[in-house]
Structure 1
């Protein structure tokens, strides 16, 4: 990984590079039952638990932002159904990781106005931990209005923390990073004090980390998103990756790895969200491929088989 300074690239420039290198993909839409007529989107990557494959998904009415996070398991009919006797969480955009053998679940809680329970005025990322899905306990909350907080166990056992400051410090949304010795040190101060990674987004655009992977060289591969508005106010979200050396915070340039055009035309939550995909998680395979789980247009869930975007990052010392 080099310290060479590179000009920050825009969504359009990254997208031009992405489309200039066609790749072979395989796309699968995920089917769900047991949630009524609600949409399921912004899913996590699957993980194995108690002999079952499990994912978390955001479950929501098409005309609402008030959602629940469900644990889903895969049945013999290739349908994802809510895991039996399992607690649901009043959260958005779930994530998970394993730290010291413990399952860590996160999601975004919306905060409503005191005089109007239908008006969302803020949001807070909440974290739960435990060794069993059925006995997770809340242990940490992020600062107000901060989404896209992600945790990872590093090679030396410490915990890497990715943040997303906004406003005076982070504009529309930057990525921050810090290291703590253990989950016991996770606090609002930790999130606020994280060093912001510079030169990743131009001021008019934004992004965040969605999942972190420990690579074979001890660096961290980051799966995230980069986003922008067009002149009509429509949002455009793309899946991206980069890598960071956790000891020095040196990082690779970002690259887009998937776009809305990879998926079939389908419904969207609102017209301005048509060109949106939200990276949920990625499973690497031994054959140089990876399966990316995404939410599409804030209404559907897909998985797409792509070349493993992290292989190139493992070549660095």
Structure 2
């Protein structure tokens, strides 16, 4: 079968399309307690596991990149650390459920041997378990690869999204492969994943942040697309596309949220002001969805938007 070529569009072209179609939204800032003066951002979407609703969030001092991932529970609209729960020295948590088992991922930073304050690399780490309090480490990604995401496919196999950079991936591409089970998840799996073609122009980059199994067996991907301006400021937008896991045929990327959707607020650094990081999406079943995002590397928000995956089903 000949795949229909997709015209690769720049961040700016996609953003122009996004702003040309205004939509009704409802925005809510999440409130956190129990973490001192630290920021909580780059959250997952809330999810129910083992009978309770939880989210994971990146907890960090404003002037530091050394973070912890906490499990939070909500009481009276305030999210607080789940009691007696292990925290992880990771950035940017992600979750999925595979065969009833909770899978948690996050990015571990690697520091210089002679300078513990200098980050020189990072590795995505994965944990699994049937209870939040008994997660165990089971897999590590290759050095410098973030945005690795897993999903249980319709036939029970596991889809794996990767984010190669450098010689294979430039500033950051998205790769995809399928394995039979989590037992096959290893560094070579991530390295060998096929890069999805024609997604980003060389100046832009992106990654997958969460994968959703759609009714037709395809996978809806929530991710981000990013670019730099001439001053070196970063611009990150939430985007989606869908992929047929059997053929790797995919739809064009579309932006679904931008920093302008949210109130002005603090940022970690000036060059990160126009950054939102897709954390997770809950489909409401009524044509709407709630997107959880980190904003300007300092705050956590949820925004209700039209369900972006409906057209793919």
TM-score by length of 1: 0.98
Task: Please list the CA deviations of residues 110-154 of structure 1 after superposition, one character each: whole Å capped at 9, or x if unmatched.
Answer: 000000000000000000000000000000000000000000000
1:2 to partner: Cα distance: 8.6
Say if 2:50 and 2:131, in contact at 8 Å, map to a contact too.
no
Q: Does structure 1 residue 100 correspond to structure 2 residue 99?
A: yes
Task: Please list the CA deviations of residues 21-52 of structure 1 after superposition, one character each: whole Å capped at 9, or x if unmatched.
Answer: 00000000000000000000000011112332
1:204-243 correspondence to structure 2 within 5 Å: 204-243=203-242
Q: Distance in 2 between matches of 1:11 and 1:249?
A: 22
1:123-272 correspondence to structure 2 within 5 Å: 123-272=122-271
Q: Distance in 2 between matches of 1:143 and 1:188?
A: 5
Residue of structure 1 equivalent to 2:292:
293
Q: Distance in 2 between matches of 1:122 and 1:206?
A: 19
Question: Secondary structure in 2 aligned to 1:17?
Answer: helix
TM-score by length of 2: 0.99
Say if 1:2 and 1:250, in contact at 8 Å, map to a contact too.
no
Residue of structure 2 equivalent to 1:118:
117
Q: Distance in 1 between matches of 2:299 and 2:44?
A: 13
Q: Distance in 2 between matches of 1:225 and 1:279?
A: 6
Residue of structure 1 equivalent to 2:56:
56
1:286 to partner: Cα distance: 1.2
Q: Distance in 1 between matches of 2:28 and 2:278?
A: 15
Gaps of 5+ in 2: none
Task: Please list the CA deviations of residues 196-220 of structure 1 after superposition, one character each: whole Å capped at 9, or x if unmatched.
Answer: 0000000011000000000000000
1:6 to partner: Cα distance: 2.5
Q: Distance in 1 between matches of 2:81 and 2:284?
A: 26
Residue of structure 1 equivalent to 2:17:
17
Question: Secondary structure in 2 aligned to 1:123?
Answer: strand
Question: Secondary structure in 2 aligned to 1:5?
Answer: coil
Say if 1:290 and 1:305, in contact at 8 Å, map to a contact too.
yes
Residue of structure 2 equivalent to 1:67:
67
Q: Distance in 1 between matches of 2:2 and 2:217?
A: 16
Residue of structure 2 equivalent to 1:83:
82
Q: Where do 4+ consecutive residues of structure 1 move more than 4 Å?
A: none
Cα RMSD of the aligned pairs, angstroms, is: 1.0
Q: Distance in 1 between matches of 2:163 and 2:40?
A: 24
Say if 1:94 and 1:107, in contact at 8 Å, map to a contact too.
yes
Q: Distance in 2 between matches of 1:274 and 1:133?
A: 34
Q: Distance in 1 between matches of 2:138 and 2:40?
A: 26
Q: Distance in 2 between matches of 1:6 and 1:241?
A: 15
Of the structure 1 ranges 42-51 and 162-171, higher mean CA displacement relative to structure 2 is found in 42-51
How many correspondences in the alignment? 313
Q: Distance in 2 between matches of 1:222 and 1:9?
A: 17
1:4 to partner: Cα distance: 1.6
Q: Distance in 2 between matches of 1:212 and 1:241?
A: 10
Gaps of 5+ in 1: none
Residue of structure 1 equivalent to 2:4:
4
